[in-house]
Structure 1
Amino acid sequence: MLFWLRMLLLSAHFVLTSIIGLLIGLIRPFEPDNSRLCARLYSWGGRIILGLEIRTEVEALKQRRSPCVYVSNHQSNYDLFVMGTVVPYRTVSIGKDSLKYVPFFGQLFWLAGNVLIKRGHATQAKQAMLASTEALKEKDTSIWVFAEGTRNGGNNMLPFKKGAFQMAIAAGVPIIPICSSSYPKHMQLKKLKAGLIKIRALAEIPTKGLTLDDVPRLMQECFEQMQKTIAQLDRDVLAAR
């Protein structure tokens, strides 16, 4: 009963927040900080409805104003309510083109200045990446990327895609990994307290002076750091139960 009540409330919250976000986007279209504001709205209500406790170690992100590429693990559709808690100032994200067909949410996603990429369409994907690189260099905007490219279901991270790392090198901005503990398989949505999730931001990985030849090494370095951190966060969550 509690599970279905949560799903009903979460659906209502999603629709209401999407409408509010769309209004924000219409008032100030393509303002990059719209994404942070909307992410906070989704996560604030979402985590209360879901009964999640989210502990964050992201103090450095709150003070950051210079552009970078944030790389995060991607676990489930609930990431909107979980990772939305820590989206930094003037940060937009890259999403799949099909999002634009989601009523209200797709339109606010576009109006917030986020980048839509059509999977399997190399030319459009390249154009979107170029636009993202331009935003990093010229518009004082950071980019949030789920580097795996798809949800991993809370299992081990999937291999990273190159796009985020190519953008960071091309723009000469650092990469900042943001890790969330594994939660989809441990959430107990039939209980009042559904579980604990920990999020940690790691130290920035500089890219200045690197070339595209350095992409494989950069990807491996980031992957290993995040894999190690997620394993530690999982142990911390287990110990806190």
Structure 2
Amino acid sequence: MENSGGGALLRNRRLESFLGSNSSQRVEGTVKTYVKNESELRTEKDVYTDDDDDGDDDGWVSSIISWIRIVTCFVSMMVTTFIWALIMVVLIPWPYERIRQGNIYGHVTGRMLMWILGNPIKIEGAEYGKERAIYISNHASPIDIFLIMWLTPTGTVGIAKKEIIWYPLFGQLYVLANHLRIDRSNATAAIESMKEAARAVVKNNLSLIIFPEGTRSKTGRLLPFKKGFVHLALQTRLPIVPMVMTGTHLAWRKGSLHVRPAPLAVKYLPPISTENWKVDKVDDYAKLLHNLYAEHLPETQRPLP
């Protein structure tokens, strides 16, 4: 485990998937992980309600701290991106090594950014984050990308639209890291791009990370799933490992420049085998995974009826 000036970090919303690298052993590392029971976590989250549309106005001291954190994230990310871009250029003849280095970049940068933001994080089921699989995640905040970068295993590639190459520095690093791009200009091109991506994953024994909603939820509520991840599963026969993100939309809202200290949770669900999946049941599988997410998300993040 779908970004130029001062806006590069903020345009992370455009990425629908991204790289990441880590194993469960690293979960116990630098970032402070607060293990709390579910009721405690829900109580803390209730402080930051979805109805608080003006939640960015938390006082000038809070705003200044938030801006410092955002600017620090941006500068830090630009530094690591530049360093790894140089490494990737040297490794151009070795595609797989570039993927590995891209994962290391994701692990270092994602962990660092989460440390800078300072949100308490609860991580469950990290033992399921070790195997080769298709990792999927709900998506409601730039923070989701930081977590994906940090918590998906080595040998994971993301899938993004081909236009990502035009995102200054970050887009070039994405391409140098040998991650996958798809052409979404029309349905035929998109299908062929997905087939090529599946062949690359199988050939190189890679894992995948993808956001099945295809975009970022503004409210944090789960959006309908697109079917691309199901087609990838049918073509690769990799198991699917859902990663359920909660609280990230409260910590950094879509379109906001204010980061709040809301507690976060990442829960890996057990792998779902796709060995016996059938092509004529694509809709059923997409619905199955969507319902599974709805069951594991708090009430405030479940899709409305």
Preserved CA contact (<8 Å) 2:157 2:208: yes
Which of 90, 94, 112 is 1:27 aligned to? 90
Separation (CA, whole Å) in 2 of partners of 1:46 and 1:232 = 28
When residues 61 and 88 of structure 1 are mapped into structure 2, their CA distance, relative to the original with a 3 A threshold, is: farther
- Aligned: 1:52 with 2:128: no
2:280 matches 1:213: yes
How much does 1:158 deviate? 0.9
Structure 1 pair 186–5 and aligned structure 2 pair: CA distance change class (3 A):
closer
One-letter amino acid of the structure 2 residue matched with residue 213 of structure 1: D
For structure 2, the 5+ residue unaligned runs are 1-63
1:238 aligned residue: none
The percent identity for this pair of structures is 26
Q: More strand per residue: 1 or 2?
A: 1
User: Counterparts of 1:134 and 1:157 in 2: how far apart (Å)?
Assistant: 30
Change beyond 3 A, Cα 1:190–1:210: closer
Question: 1:71 aligned to 136, 146, 151, which one?
Answer: 136
Residue 194 in structure 1 maps to residue 261 in structure 2: yes
Provide the aligned C-alpha RMSD in A. Answer: 2.4
Q: Which residue of the partner structure matches residue 6 of structure 1?
A: 69
- What does the per-residue CA deviation read over 1:31-81, in whole Å, with 9 as the maximum and x for residues that have no partner? 3323321211221221122122222224324542xx321111111223222
- Runs ≥4 in structure 1, deviation > 6 angstroms? 188-191
Equivalent position to 2:78, from 15, 33, 48: 15
Structure 2 Cα separation of the partners of residues 88 and 28 of structure 1: 20
1:156 aligned partner: 221
| Residues 88-144 of structure 1: CA deviation (Å, up to 9, x unaligned) | 120001112232111211111112121122333334322321122112322110111
The offset of 1:209, in angstroms, is: 2.5
Quick check: which has more Rg, 1 or 2? 2
Distance 1:164 1:73, change over 3 A: same
Relative distance call for 1:37 and 1:232 in structure 2 (3 A) is farther
1:137 equivalent in structure 2: 202
Taking the aligned partners of 1:233 and 1:39, their CA distance within structure 2 comes to 29
Partner in structure 1 of residue 110 of structure 2? 43
Residues 161 and 187 (structure 1), Cα distance of their counterparts in 2 relative to 1, 3 Å cut: closer
Could you tell me whether the CA contact under 8 Å between 1:168 and 1:175 is conserved in 2? yes
Which amino acid counterpart does residue 57 of structure 1 have in structure 2?
Answer: E
TM-score w.r.t. the length of structure 2 is 0.69
Normalised to the residue count of structure 1, the TM-score between the two structures is 0.86
Query: Where does the alignment leave 5 or more consecutive residues of structure 1 unmatched?
Result: 235-241
SS for the counterpart of 1:144 is strand
Q: Deviations over 1:3-30 (max 9, x none)?
A: 2212221110121121122123223343
The residue aligned with 1:222 is: 289
